Structures are given as structure tokens and as C-alpha cells.
């Protein structure tokens, strides 16, 4: 990955500033993007928090470099966030991606502290067929929230 990045930076020093969001459309960047994806896949197999965090950081970087997400990175991000105990961030990501993530005229990852109690359709927007991985993570977040609320209710009833 570092070798591919060095090669790109030597050929075009402004590429990483000028073409953010459109990398897959530039054929010369594809080996670099593929090497990033391979590293993400390898890091996802670890059970070490630092490895999972590194995979998340790389995946977010991939999505920033290629908003069209030709490599399907969006499907990994919420699950990695959930593995790290970042359920709120996962919810924010899902809502951002499903409602405006593909629109390059809108800011990158601009949703924060969204209402996780809102109706699930609010996070999925008006897309008829959203990303299945995002929908699965959304369901897991909602189930965890329900479980936490039931535990809280039970502890209050006993106390």
C-alpha cells in the first residue's frame, strides 16, 4: 500500500488533495485502492482492538477517497464501529450514508449525535433498497438499545 501511495504521489503530488472523492474514476489509483482494501480485509480478521480501529480508519479513508464506494467499503464501516463499541457513530454513519452519502455536493460524514430512538426509516431515507449490511447493523443497534432499556427498567423495578 505504501509503495502504491508513493508511486501516486511521485507521479502527481496534488492527486490526494485535488481528487478526493473520485479516486476510482482515475485508473492509476486502483492498485492503491485495492491494496488498501486488502489491508482492511486482513485487519478485520484480528480480534485486537487496535487492528479493528486501524481497519475502520482505513475504511473511512477509502470512502473519503472514493465516495461512489466502488469497492463496497460502506458495508464494513458500521460493523467495525459496533465491534469497537461505537454504536452511536455507527448509527450516524448509517443515516449519513443512506440519506446523503453518495451526494458529492453534500459534506462528508456531517451527521453526528443523531436520534437513535427515531423510527428506523429515518435512518434509511427514501432509498427503496438500501445496503443490507447497513440495515443489519441498524437492526443490531436497535436491539441493543431495547435490551439496554429493558435492563434499566428491570434494575429500577428491583431497586
CA–CA separation, 55 vs 39, rounded Å? 8
CA–CA separation, 45 vs 83, rounded Å? 12
Task: Select from 30, 142, 125 the least CA-distant residue to 78.
Answer: 142
pLDDT digits (tens, 9 = 90+) for 56-82: 999 999 999 999 888 889 999 999 999
Identify the pLDDT of residue 155.
85
Model confidence, pTM: 0.89
Identify the pLDDT of residue 123.
85
pLDDT digits (tens, 9 = 90+) for 32-45: 999 999 999 999 99
CA–CA separation, 4 vs 88, rounded Å? 34
Task: Select from 37, 12, 108 the least CA-distant residue to 67.
Answer: 108
Res 129 pLDDT > 90: no
Res 97 pLDDT > 70: yes
**Residue 127: band (very low, low, confident or very high) from pLDDT cuts 50, 70, 90:** low
Higher-pLDDT residue of 125, 6 = 6
Res 128 pLDDT > 70: no
Identify the pLDDT of residue 36.
96
- Please classify residue 83 by burial: count the beta carbons closer than 10 Å to its beta carbon, then call 0-12 exposed, 13-18 middle and 19+ buried: middle
Amino acid at each position: 500500500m505504501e509503495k502504491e501511495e508513493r508511486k501516486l504521489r511521485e507521479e502527481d503530488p496534488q492527486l490526494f488533495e485535488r481528487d478526493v472523492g473520485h479516486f476510482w474514476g482515475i485508473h492509476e489509483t486502483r492498485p492503491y485502492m485495492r491494496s488498501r482494501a486488502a489491508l482492511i480485509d486482513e485487519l478485520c480478521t484480528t480480534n485486537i482492538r487496535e487492528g479493528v480501529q486501524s481497519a475502520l480508519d482505513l475504511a473511512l479513508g477509502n470512502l473519503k477517497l472514493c465516495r461512489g464506494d466502488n469497492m463496497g467499503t460502506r458495508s464494513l464501516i458500521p460493523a467495525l464501529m459496533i465491534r469497537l463499541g461505537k454504536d452511536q457513530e455507527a448509527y450516524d454513519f448509517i443515516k449519513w450514508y443512506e440519506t446523503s452519502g453518495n451526494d458529492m455536493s453534500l459534506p462528508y460524514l456531517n451527521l453526528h449525535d443523531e436520534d437513535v430512538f427515531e423510527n428506523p426509516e429515518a435512518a434509511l431515507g427514501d432509498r427503496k433498497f438500501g445496503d443490507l449490511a447497513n440495515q443489519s447493523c441498524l437492526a443490531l443497534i436497535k436491539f441493543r438499545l431495547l435490551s439496554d432499556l429493558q435492563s434499566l427498567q428491570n434494575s429500577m423495578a428491583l431497586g
